[in-house]
């Protein structure tokens, strides 16, 4: 029996490893293909010859992208959105999750507030009411139209309040005995102990803000205020290289709509790819610890 279980365990590990490896390749190979196309020549990319390795390697597509004022401007808008949006998200997540993590005896209205927040996960107001709220509040065509409608991500609040509930109650009791108030306990006791969960939620927030594109199209009246993903969505669909001057005829021989779009897509994904490895060590720990208690 022990030997059978051992073989069964081995078969499970082999199958699980093969499945996860295949899943990882499905996620990585498209990005590798886009990277290869972006570094390939116009002829090779247009003929569909590029697979996972560049053909006629050159960096002209990136040189042309980085000369585009619209691309750099939208990149700055996205960076501004990610920084401000993540700060707003994290502050409001902590301020919401801490009181909701208390027992009913300490916070009598807790159940009502929890269900009020939870219902927003199941039912949304819809696009038109959300648009009207943004319009009536006077933040249309500003950076805050991209941030405030998503200021309190309820799923992140649920994760963090469960994490807070998993911390020893004796820590709070000791702080109360020492004369600390609720805000002092929250910022000096709970927040420092919640680094894995907070890093995970910050990653969620950054990725969400960076990848969002639809709200930029509907809340921004001018393309100059588009975040990067909204800009990429428009140029990839309507891209043409007619704006190249006659002096760029040599560049036209090396780049095409396809290589140009691939370069922009990869540059758009690059910042998150660079940030993720530094937060990944907190990712699994934060999710697991934040889901222990309901």
3-state secondary structure 102-170: CCCCCCCCHHHHHHHHHHHHHCCCCHHHHHHHHHHCCCCCCHHHCCHHHCCCHHHHHHHHHHHHCCCHH
Q: What is the mean pLDDT of residues 18-27?
A: 91
Span 179-234, pLDDT tens digits:
888 889 888 889 988 888 898 899 889 989 998 989 998 999 888 899 988 888 88
Span 71-87, pLDDT tens digits:
889 999 999 999 999 99
> Global pTM?
0.80
Among 235, 217, 233, 234, CA closest to 225: 217
* Rg, C-alpha atoms of the chain: 24
pLDDT score of 13 more than 70: yes
pLDDT higher at 210 or 5: 210
Residue entry with tokens 């911390």: 167
CA neighbours within 13 Å on the CB side: how many for 155? 10
End-to-end CA separation in angstroms for the chain:
37
């Amino acid at each position: 029996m022990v030997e059978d279980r051992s073989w069964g365990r081995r078969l499970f590990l082999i199958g699980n490893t093969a499945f996860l490896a295949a899943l990882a390749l499905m996620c990585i190979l498209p990005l590798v293909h886009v990277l290869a196309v972006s570094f390939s020549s116009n002829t090779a990319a247009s003929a569909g010859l590029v697979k996972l390795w560049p053909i006629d390697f050159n960096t002209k597509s990136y040189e042309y992208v980085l000369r585009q004022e619209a691309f750099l401007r939208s990149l700055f808008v996205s960076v501004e959105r990610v920084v401000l949006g993540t700060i707003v998200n994290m502050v409001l997540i902590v301020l919401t999750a801490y009181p909701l993590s208390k027992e009913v005896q300490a916070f009598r209205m807790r159940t009502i507030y929890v269900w009020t927040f939870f219902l927003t996960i199941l039912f949304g107001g819809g696009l038109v009411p959300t648009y009207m709220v943004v319009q009536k509040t006077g933040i249309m065509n500003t950076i805050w139209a991209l941030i405030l409608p998503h200021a309190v991500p309820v799923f992140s609040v649920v994760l963090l309040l469960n994490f807070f509930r998993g911390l020893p109650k004796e820590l709070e009791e000791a702080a109360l005995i020492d004369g600390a108030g609720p805000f002092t306990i929250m910022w000096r006791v709970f927040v420092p102990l919640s680094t894995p969960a907070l890093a995970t939620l910050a990653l969620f927030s950054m990725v969400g803000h960076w990848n969002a594109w639809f709200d930029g199209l509907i809340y921004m009246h001018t393309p100059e205020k588009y975040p990067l993903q909204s800009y990429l969505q428009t140029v990839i669909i309507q891209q043409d290289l007619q704006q190249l001057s006659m002096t760029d005829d040599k560049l036209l021989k090396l780049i095409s709509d396809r290589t140009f779009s691939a370069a922009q897509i990869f540059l758009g994904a690059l910042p998150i790819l660079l940030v993720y490895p530094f937060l990944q060590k907190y990712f699994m720990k934060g999710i697991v610890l934040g889901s222990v208690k309901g």
